[in-house]
Amino acid sequence: MSEPKAVPTPRERKHERTSPALFYRQVVAELRKVVWPTQQQLSTYFVVVLVFVLVMMAITSLLDLGFGRLFFAIFGGRDNS
């Protein structure tokens, strides 16, 4: 005699649809669990992200400029004189 399986296989699971009202209640319940940042934390995060993006833009621009000049020097591009 075989023992019943502890975990049903995907084929054995029944997919019951939830009603829109139940879904909405579950979404609201989950959002109440969220820890929202304070105004000061939000401002700090904004400044940190802004500085990071600006630094990355500067690094990318400098690399692009440097590689562009390097390739023009190697493969003979326009003469800037």
Q: Tens digit of pLDDT for each residue in 17-63?
A: 889 999 999 999 999 999 999 999 999 999 999 999 999 999 999 99
Whether the CB-CB separation of 77 and 71 falls below 8 Å is answered with yes
What Rg do the C-alpha atoms of the chain give, in angstroms?
A: 29
Residue 27 confidence (pLDDT): 95
Residue 45's contacts (CB-CB under 8 Å, 6 or more residues apart) are 37
- What number of other Cβ atoms are within 10 A of residue 50's Cβ? 10
What CA–CA distances, in Å, run from 66 to 23, 61, 74, 78?
Answer: 54, 9, 12, 15
Note the pTM of the prediction, 2 decimals.
0.56
